[in-house]
Structure 1
Amino acid sequence: DEPRIESPRKIIIEEQVIELCHEALKILFDQNKDFSNRS
């Protein structure tokens, strides 16, 4: 029963990490756009 409880937690953590990565990429892209506009 314990592994059944652990698996969903790991899946949720992975989803959160993926979302954070996507947000970080968006911020990086926005910064690159700002730099390109400045130059």
Structure 2
Amino acid sequence: NADALVVLTNARKGLNHLIKGSISENLANHSRRPVMTFKL
């Protein structure tokens, strides 16, 4: 069992974010554990 999640993000914006979405954002919004994100 993990106590927290650490994920890297590409920091997509605009149309690219709209089309491809963000796995990091999805994890942060739906995880029951704390999530730390770091920009690549």
Report the TM range for the smaller structure's normalisation: under 0.3
TM-score (norm 2): 0.23
Who wins on radius of gyration, i.e. which is larger?
Answer: 1
TM-score (norm 1): 0.23
More strand by share: 2
Q: Higher helix share goes to which structure?
A: 1
If asked which structure has higher relative contact order (CA below 8 Å, sep 6+), I would say 2
